[in-house]
Structure formats: structure tokens, C-alpha cells
Structure 1
Amino acid sequence: MSQEPGLVAGLVVPAPEGFSKRQRIELALENLTQADLARLALKFAAARSDIPLDEAGRKVLEADDPPLTQITRRDVARILGNDLAGERSTVEVVESYFPLSSPFEALFGSKGQSLRDRIARHMDHNPGDWSVEQLFGEIGAFDCSRARFGALLEQAVHPLSRSGDEQTKTVEALNRVLARDGYELAQDGEVSGHPLFSFRSLVRGVGGRPKNLIFASRGPKPEIGFADAINNDIVILSGEESCLIYDRPISASGLLWSELVSWWGDVTPGADAARLGARLQESLASDAERKLFAAYFKAYRSTLGEALPALLPQVYLHYDPAVVKTLRHRLPLPRQRMDFLLLLPSRQRVVIEVDGKHHFSENDLPSLKVYADMVSADRELRLAGYEVYRFGANELVGDGAEAKIKDFFDKLFRLHRIRQ
């Protein structure tokens, strides 16, 4: 076997003797994930200006992200009315992102008008013939990747298209609609004194879909392994009897208390919200944790009702790609247990830690190692997209504790647009 592999668009291709080029490529591809293949497709697409291939790759990479729905895209089109491109040609803006003619037209000509010709006729030469909503239907913008749709909006509000008050008002109107799905047009620079806008997620969230939540342990730490490494199905090897395991799909809107109560009623026939609350409290390890948990429900149970996010105590596993990779390599998790976890809309994950003296000491003596391990785990969680907030245990007991807890959650909910 040759020792010199080939390289195709960043792909290392082995060169065993007697293998055809096709066999060598298949050998190189067989161990790649779908995401790896999608990224490879994007490299080929960029090199060949292949829009359909680029689109296929982007849809794979966006599969686990919050969607930009057809409802939102239609409302975006209606905001733009009959004018996508403003001062620019609609064809100029659109053709960079959507194929407007087929290869057969280039080779053999077309008896009728191409899509490019029709857009030029109905939107550039005769403004008002087509609405932006009709244009989106013709080019496939209602079903395209989120990245492609976002890039089109960036051009629609580019200073070459719109400037001054028109640009400002258009961005504000679009953002009111985009925010429903967790996206926005945010200023990230300027050209000749005019703002430039980029399409992005409103807030950075955790990647991957939550799965196999293991929480509320009232006994020894559970030992976790894989039942099915391909589908990332988790199995508890020991300690299962002391934990709760939420195995239902969690949507982009997060996990609500009402959903947790519904699940509890199904797995524990006859149980209700009060019994679930009592079961969760059994897992709390200190008076400070019990105070935070009780104050949360006292402050928000009635005001938020069905929209109250579930406050999960003693979480041993919240599935995401980083955790799966760690488990597969049998490495220590960034944090063996989270005191509390909130799964909020747009994949926002909020970890709340209540720090007693064991966070800073070992055998009742101050320990720099224990402290270093704690702050290291915080860094890893934040880099993975989590927010981490810490309370000192002494903050959560005595007079003023409830007011401090409510003030924190009021600010947190405003930050994440949880309406009260």
C-alpha cells in the first residue's frame, strides 16, 4: 500500500495499490459523518459555483438548528411588498443565490423566457407586476436553506439597495418578524458611513437536539453508557432507580413545566404536579437549593402558567454533541452534575450553580485544585453555548433571599424574552 495519500478538497484519500480512483474515494468517504460530507460538498460547490450542491450541503448542516418557517418567510415577503432590491436590479440580487437558468438553456437555447428573463420583466422593467411573495415562490425561497434566505435578506437591506430611513425602517420591520423564530438582522459593520447588516441567530445556543435528560438523582451518581452509539441512545449502567429520565423530544421552544408534568403523569399514573414537585425536592442537597427551587415556583407559577420553563434540579446529563463525544472517548464530563438547568427557547441552556464550601475546599481545607476544576468546567460549558450563573449558598438563605432570586429570574427572563 502506498504511503502517499491524495487530497481532494480537504479530503485525505488513501492510495492502496490496485484500487481504482472510485474505490479510493469510496474508502475515504465511508467513515465520514453526514456533517463531514456536507462540509465537503460545500467546498466542491464553492470551487464550481454549484448552487444546488451548496444548498444540499447547507440543509444537512442546518438540520438540527431552529427552523426559519415558511410562515415567517411569507411575512418577510409581505413586508418587502413589491420591492426586494430597492435601488438595485432584482436579477442582480437574486442570481448570486438562486439558479435562474438551466444548463439546457445555455446549451440549446430556450423557446420561452427563462426565469431570469421573467424576473427582469416583471420586477425590474415593470415594477409591481410581481410581489416579493410571488418572487419567493418562483425562485424557491420558501423552501431554501436558512443561510441562503438570510443572505438574500442581507442584500435586500444592503446600503446599495436601501439607505437612510428606508433601510432603518425595513430592518426594524423584518426583525420583528424574524425574532419569532429566533433570528435577526444585526449591524456588524459599515461602508461609507452606512450600516451593514448580517443575518444571525438572536442568541447563541447549544447545538444538537436535547435527548435523554437524566436528573433529580436522590442517590448515588448514575453511571452512564451507550445503548446505541449510532443513534446516541444512552443507558444508565447503575443508579437508574434513583434518577428521573426524560426521554421525550424537546422542541426549539425548550422544556416547559407543563410538559414535564404531562410526562410525569404518563410514567407515574395518578401523579400530579404537586407530587412531581415533591419528588424533585427530594433531590435537592441544601437549604439554599431548596430555597431557590421554592422561590422560583412561588414567583412565576401563576404569572407564567403554561409558559413556565421547567427548572430541572441535579442534572447529570443533558445530551448535546459535546457530551456524546466526551462519553465516546470515556473522558470526564465538563461538569459531572448541574445543580439546576433551564432549557429555554432557541436552544438556550442556562446552568445555575449554588456554591457551598465544597466548591472551594477539600477535606474542609481551601483547595486551589477544586476551584480550578470548577472554573475550567464553567469555561467548557460556556464555549459549548451554555450560560452559567453562580450563587453563593449564603445569598439564598435569610432575609432578602426571595427578593434576590426573583430579581435574578426577572432579568434572566427579560434577556431571553420570556414574557410574564
Structure 2
Amino acid sequence: MTTNLRILIADVLQAMTHTELSQAPLEIAGLVVPAGEGLSKRQRIDSALANLTEMDLAQLALKFAVHRGDVSLDEAGRKVLEANDPPITQITRRDVARVFGDDLAGERGTVEMVERYFPLSTPFEDFFGSMARSRGAHQSLRDKITRHMDDNPGDWSVEHLFGEIGAFDCSRARFGALLEEAVHPLARSGEEQLKSVAALNKILARDGYELVQESELSGHPIFVFRPLVRGVGGRPKNLIFASQGPKPEIGFADAINNDIVILSGEESCLVYDRPISSNGLLWSELVAWWSDIMPGANAANLGARLQKSLSSDAEHKLFATYFKVFHPALGETLPALLPQVYLHYDPAIVKTLRHRLPLPRQRMDFLLLLPGRQRIVLEVDGKHHFSEKDRPSLKVYADMVSADRELRLAGYEIYRFGANELVGDDAESRIADFFKKLFRLHRVAR
């Protein structure tokens, strides 16, 4: 597969002039083709591609595909990127087609929907199509779909259409994008949309995928295609974080809407109350919120404020390394790393409790909200996690692991670091390695 992809990309580059190859970094996001005075184009191209991994080549193929509108190159890249993911089998794709019967597009035109993702004709067919139709001769696939699905509904089933356009064998990403269009409110709305999504999800779940609501358009749900995950149910509504002083006193400004108000201790924490989609929370979104509530503030100001809530050298090292290593690589798509996040809020002061114990694990050291409702908890454990009054305590340890179990059963992922892991010469590489593996596991783009 790597060899084929390398050949496809090399063929694209070979069609460029020497000057265009030198301009490639500007047009194609980072591919550097060495000047190499006296070298042939093929030698320059081979040198540029020589050290690229299979994943690098796949990402490059996608960029070229967008630049050129090349579906075949896009498919080749996506097949590599999806090689280790659960496939959507032809059986599942067949059963998905049967959900739609003979109507994939609903209120939209079938050609309009399908040709966004699948090539329906060649320029030759487009040029001669009208002449061919007048004589009853060869028709492009676009013409056939128009005739058999839009002009004469019922001639073709969606299952037959899938076979004609290649939907049984295409990449998972392309198939998922087609389903998103089919359940878009411009195609289906109201009860029909919801019934279609429910029927599709029952089938898609067999292969580990689903359609989930991400947003709304004029009050109608917008669904996206994603891997089926066990993430936390519900949507985050209020994030109380970066606590750096006395515990805030919180009440409801509107309990029906779950709108909270800080009654005292407002200066000790931050409250993010904007909608959080199924894509999670990005650092860029957090910075935009911060700039709105603190006019003139920027990312550096926010970073400084968050660091004030950190309580140990180990936490500072984890936080600083995260941004140092991953912000340059991910930029606008970097997930927000939230420190000191309240999980439970117990309004009573601990010393006043007589009839019960306080809620355990009221605050998390760090929280990441990733796509697919995944919530990642990071804990930095000092000696107080295992001891009481400087003496080892099985009770303290038991309380900690008990709280961990409850969080995991609720769908959270928990990762613990010993504080001594996060200091010293190799701490930065250890932290970077952890986040690289975490992002690979959750398919966070890099």
C-alpha cells in the first residue's frame, strides 16, 4: 500500500514544472522538494518522499486530493489512514441501503447529494452526453441517476445506486459523509429524520459506528458519523475550573436552564458556560471565551491564569510540556487541558456535615474533553493520595480507587501519574509520549 501511494503522489508531482515543485510548500502544506541543482524532477521528487512514513504519505495524499479535486487519490490516502480501524462491511452497507429503500436524497436531488463525494462522469461524457441521449446511446452515470432516481423514482433502489457509485467499497469516511447528507434536515426532517437515524444506528452499531447529533440548524438536528464510543452520556453544561483559592459558593440563577451563579469566591475559579459539542472543547475555543469575558486578554494571559491554579512542580511540568510540544503541531485543533476542574459540587462546608460524608473526588487535577463524548481525567499523585498525617493509609488509598471505579463506570478515562514521574530530566519526553499515545488512541489529528 505504501509503495502504491508513493507512486501516486510521485506521479502528481512529476506533472509539475521545476518551479512549481519549489513552490509546493506554500500550496501543499509542508512538502519540501529540495532544489538540487542539476537533479532531474524524478530525483528531486524521490528525495522529497524518501523519508516519509506511510501515515505521512496518506496525509499528503489528502492534501493533494483537495488541491486537485482528485477522488482516487483521496480514497488511496483514506484507505491507509483507516487500515487499523474497524471496517464497515459490505453487509452493513447493504443493510444501510435497504433502510432508504429507493429514496436516498429525500427532499434533495440524488445527483446533487451524491456527486459531492463520488465521480459521476468524465469530462468526455459530459461533453458528448446531450448528443448521446438524443440518439439513445451511452449515458454518463450522472444521467442514469437523474433518469432512474430523480425523474422516475422507484426505477433504482438505493442498494443498486450504491453498487453503481462504488459505495460498497469506498472509504469509511466517504461512506459516512454520504450518510450525513442523507439525514441532513435539508433532505429529511422531523419524525422521518429521527426514525431514519434510529434505524441506521441499529445497523451501524454492529461495526462500531453511529450517527450522533452535533448541532442544530433552525431547530433541526445535524448528525455526524463517528465511531461508536462508550463516552460519558449527556453534554457538558458548566465547567468550573482553575480553582486557586477558597471553594466557591455556587447557586442556580435558573435551575430549569441549569444556569449557575457564583455567590461568593468568584475570584477563585473560572466558569465556562458556553455550549460544548460532541467534538469536545478546543484550546482555541477556550481562548475565544476568555477574550470575550476579559476584553484585551489573549492566550498568554489565559495560560498564566490557569497556571496559578496548579499546586505542584509536577502539575506545572505536565501543563507546560503539553502546550510546548503539542500547540505548535495542532494549533487551532489542540484540545483544551483544563486544570483543577470540579467534578462534584458539594455546597456544604465539610466541618458542618453531621449526617453524611462529603462527596469524594470533588476536584480533578486535569480534564480533557475529546471528540465522541470522551472525558479524560489526569491525576498527579503526591503522597497525600496514599497517606494520612504522613503515615501510609489503606483507607485513603481505598477511597481513591473506589472513586476511580465510579468514574470509569460513568464512562470517564482516568490516568494517574506519580508526582516523581513528572520531574527530572526525562519528564518532558515521558509526558510527550503519553499524550502522543492518547491522541493516537482517540484519533486526535496530528
Residue 359 of structure 1 is matched in structure 2 by: 385
Alignment equivalent of 1:388, drawn from 402, 407, 414 = 414
Residue 400 of structure 1 is matched in structure 2 by: 426
Is 2:307 aligned against 1:307?
Answer: no
Residue 254 of structure 1 is matched in structure 2 by: 280
Tell me, in whole angstroms, the C-alpha distance in 1 between the residues paired with 2:94 and 2:233: 38
Shift of 1:237: 3.5
Is 2:123 aligned against 1:123?
Answer: no
Tell me, in whole angstroms, the C-alpha distance in 1 between the residues paired with 2:204 and 2:306: 50
Is 2:309 aligned against 1:283?
Answer: yes
SS at match of 1:346: coil
Is 2:371 aligned against 1:345?
Answer: yes
> Do 2:281 and 2:369's aligned partners in 1 also have CA atoms closer than 8 Å?
yes
Tell me, in whole angstroms, the C-alpha distance in 2 between the residues paired with 1:412 and 1:292: 14
Residues 303 and 262 of structure 1: CA distance in aligned 2, closer, same or farther (over 3 Å):
same
Tell me, in whole angstroms, the C-alpha distance in 2 between the residues paired with 1:412 and 1:281: 22
Is 2:249 aligned against 1:220?
Answer: no
> Do 1:280 and 1:313's aligned partners in 2 also have CA atoms closer than 8 Å?
yes
Is 2:197 aligned against 1:149?
Answer: yes
SS at match of 2:291: helix
Tell me, in whole angstroms, the C-alpha distance in 2 between the residues paired with 1:308 and 1:86: 33
Residues 157 and 94 of structure 1: CA distance in aligned 2, closer, same or farther (over 3 Å):
farther
Shift of 1:246: 1.1
Q: Deviations over 1:185-239 (max 9, x none)?
A: xxxxxxxxxxxxxxxx532222222122111111022233333222222233432
Tell me, in whole angstroms, the C-alpha distance in 2 between the residues paired with 1:359 and 1:373: 9
Q: Deviations over 1:254-290 (max 9, x none)?
A: 1111111111112112211111111111110000000
SS at match of 1:343: strand
Alignment equivalent of 1:207, drawn from 227, 233, 258 = 233
Residues 398 and 367 of structure 1: CA distance in aligned 2, closer, same or farther (over 3 Å):
same
Tell me, in whole angstroms, the C-alpha distance in 2 between the residues paired with 1:235 and 1:155: 43
Residue 244 of structure 1 is matched in structure 2 by: 270
Residues 412 and 318 of structure 1: CA distance in aligned 2, closer, same or farther (over 3 Å):
farther
Tell me, in whole angstroms, the C-alpha distance in 2 between the residues paired with 1:318 and 1:283: 18
Is 2:292 aligned against 1:266?
Answer: yes
Tell me the matched-pair count. Answer: 278
Residues 355 and 85 of structure 1: CA distance in aligned 2, closer, same or farther (over 3 Å):
closer
SS at match of 1:403: helix
> Do 1:210 and 1:318's aligned partners in 2 also have CA atoms closer than 8 Å?
no
Residues 85 and 257 of structure 1: CA distance in aligned 2, closer, same or farther (over 3 Å):
closer
Shift of 1:353: 0.4
> Do 1:211 and 1:249's aligned partners in 2 also have CA atoms closer than 8 Å?
yes
Instruction: Write the letter of the residue equivalent to 1:286.
Output: S
Tell me, in whole angstroms, the C-alpha distance in 2 between the residues paired with 1:228 and 1:155: 40
Residues 252 and 399 of structure 1: CA distance in aligned 2, closer, same or farther (over 3 Å):
same
Residue 443 of structure 2 is matched in structure 1 by: 417
Tell me, in whole angstroms, the C-alpha distance in 2 between the residues paired with 1:123 and 1:411: 44
Shift of 1:357: 0.6
Unaligned runs of 5+ in 2: 1-74, 76-89, 102-151, 168-177, 214-221, 346-355
Tell me, in whole angstroms, the C-alpha distance in 2 between the residues paired with 1:157 and 1:224: 40
Residues 367 and 119 of structure 1: CA distance in aligned 2, closer, same or farther (over 3 Å):
farther
Tell me, in whole angstroms, the C-alpha distance in 1 between the residues paired with 2:92 and 2:259: 47
Instruction: Write the letter of the residue equivalent to 1:253.
Output: N
Alignment equivalent of 1:377, drawn from 395, 403, 406 = 403
Is 2:255 aligned against 1:229?
Answer: yes
Residues 150 and 266 of structure 1: CA distance in aligned 2, closer, same or farther (over 3 Å):
same
> Do 2:244 and 2:269's aligned partners in 1 also have CA atoms closer than 8 Å?
yes
Shift of 1:416: 1.1
Residues 391 and 86 of structure 1: CA distance in aligned 2, closer, same or farther (over 3 Å):
closer
SS at match of 2:232: coil
Percent identity reads 67
Residue 292 of structure 1 is matched in structure 2 by: 318
Q: Deviations over 1:64-99 (max 9, x none)?
A: xxxxxxxxxxxxxxx9xxx999999x8x8668xxxx
> Do 1:213 and 1:318's aligned partners in 2 also have CA atoms closer than 8 Å?
no
TM norm structure 2? 0.52
SS at match of 2:257: coil
> Do 1:257 and 1:310's aligned partners in 2 also have CA atoms closer than 8 Å?
yes
Tell me, in whole angstroms, the C-alpha distance in 2 between the residues paired with 1:232 and 1:151: 32
Q: Deviations over 1:277-330 (max 9, x none)?
A: 1111111000000000000001011110111111000011489xxxxxxxxxx9
Tell me, in whole angstroms, the C-alpha distance in 1 between the residues paired with 2:403 and 2:413: 12
Higher RCO structure, 1 or 2 (CA under 8 Å, sep 6+)? 1
